[in-house]
Amino acid sequence: MKLLAAPILAGLSAFLITSPLAAKTALEIAKKHDLKKIEALTAYLKTNPDKKERDLALDILVDANMDLGKLEPIPDLLAQRYELQNKGPEADLQLIVTKIIRPFIESAAATNQRDSAKDFVARVKEDFSSNPQAAQLNQFIDQLASELYLPGVGDTMDFAFTDLRGSEVDLSKMRGKVILIDFWATWCGPCIAEMPTVIEVYNSYHDKGFDVVGISLDEDKGALKEFIKTNKMPWPQYFDGKGWANEIAQQYGIGSIPATFLIGKDGKVVASNLRGKALEEAVAESLEGE
């Protein structure tokens, strides 16, 4: 546990002592403390130029916002913290990756700040391009940044292919239907565990305008065909035999499976990675919409 620097501790102590907390639960008390902490530290940052103090204050501010579920300010706070870091040979790459880059990407992806995150990632790569560990760092950053390319709510997904049965599939021509895009593989345990739900929802709602498009990350076509036949999965499947290098998966930054995206009648993503009852409820709601 980090000890607060004296100036920061003094500022926080003042409101903790003088501010009555009319809260009834521990969670309410914690939230009020976090709000006051954010106010005090924000004011403190405006007047304190000390590099180490600013770095510590920004670190605490990020944690406080996360505790409150306030993700939108976090990328900017982390960008400020990044400015304070040593980027030379003695740089603390572990801190930069785990405490700045990772939460920056995660919070930006969750708050529709993906473009700024992509710019940030590019800048970090440039800053450390001459570092002896640049190749390893870039590989790790790319893994984290794949999340920035995942379709979000309101985005559209557009691709066409010839499925395993030789039928042409064009997502742009499926407007008016509710579509589940399912990135999966026969070797993926969680994918197989969720498949009965997908099959059940398909059978229940297909006649009402629901369809599934499978994107298989398998490399063995025979195993895939056998699985589809055994489990009675009649919807179209994209297969190119490239595994994780699957072209459609690469197009949308898929770094883990199962990954599912529910597309509404207007062709826009309405939800992602729904499981169990949540999938059925979202499909039913989307079918009822205009």
List pLDDT tens digits, range 189-204: 999 999 999 999 999 9
**Domain boundary, last residue among 130, 149, 168:** 149
Mean pLDDT is lowest, of 13-22, 106-115, 163-172, for: 13-22
The band of 148, judged by pLDDT with boundaries at 50, 70 and 90, is confident
Residue 115 lies in a domain: yes
Which pLDDT belongs to residue 95?
Answer: 96
The band of 6, judged by pLDDT with boundaries at 50, 70 and 90, is low
Q: Indicate the pairing of strand 160-162 with strand 168-170.
A: antiparallel
Closest CA to 41 of 5, 67, 70, 91: 5
Which pLDDT belongs to residue 19?
Answer: 47
Q: pLDDT tens digits, residue range 85-114?
A: 999 999 999 999 999 999 999 999 888 898
Residue 1 lies in a domain: no
**What is the rounded CA–CA span in Å between residue 138 and residue 128?**
9
Same domain, residue pair 93 and 173: no
For residue 3, pLDDT over 90 is answered with no
Residue 80 lies in a domain: yes
Same domain, residue pair 10 and 145: yes
Q: Is the pTM of this model over 0.75?
A: no
**Domain boundary, last residue among 149, 170, 188:** 149
Same domain, residue pair 38 and 124: yes
For residue 206, pLDDT over 50 is answered with yes
Which pLDDT belongs to residue 2?
Answer: 45
Mean pLDDT is lowest, of 24-28, 75-79, 216-220, for: 24-28
Q: pLDDT tens digits, residue range 239-287?
A: 999 999 999 999 998 988 999 999 999 999 999 999 899 999 999 999 9
The band of 116, judged by pLDDT with boundaries at 50, 70 and 90, is very high
Same domain, residue pair 40 and 113: yes
Which pLDDT belongs to residue 208?
Answer: 97
Same domain, residue pair 144 and 167: no
Which pLDDT belongs to residue 15?
Answer: 44
**What is the rounded CA–CA span in Å between residue 187 and residue 175?**
31
Which pLDDT belongs to residue 149?
Answer: 82
Which pLDDT belongs to residue 1?
Answer: 41
Tell me the CATH number at 221. Answer: 3.40.30.10
Same domain, residue pair 198 and 271: yes
Number of neighbours of residue 17 by Cβ within 10 angstroms: 7
Q: pLDDT tens digits, residue range 117-130?
A: 999 999 999 999 99
Residue 259 lies in a domain: yes
**Domain boundary, last residue among 149, 174, 196:** 149
Domain count, the chain: 2
Same domain, residue pair 198 and 280: yes
Cis peptide before 258 (omega within 30 of 0): yes
Same domain, residue pair 142 and 169: no
- The pLDDT mean for the chain works out to 89
Residue 154 lies in a domain: no
**HSE-CB of 47 using CA atoms within 13 angstroms:** 7
Same domain, residue pair 145 and 204: no
Q: At 239, list the tokens.
A: 């297969």
Gap between the terminal Cα atoms of the chain: 52
User: Which domain does 13 fall in, by range?
Assistant: 6-149
Same domain, residue pair 93 and 141: yes
**What is the rounded CA–CA span in Å between residue 175 and residue 167?**
18
For residue 161, pLDDT over 80 is answered with yes
Strand, helix or coil for residue 160: strand
Strands of the chain (E only): list them. 160-162, 168-170, 178-184, 210-216, 237-238, 259-263, 269-272
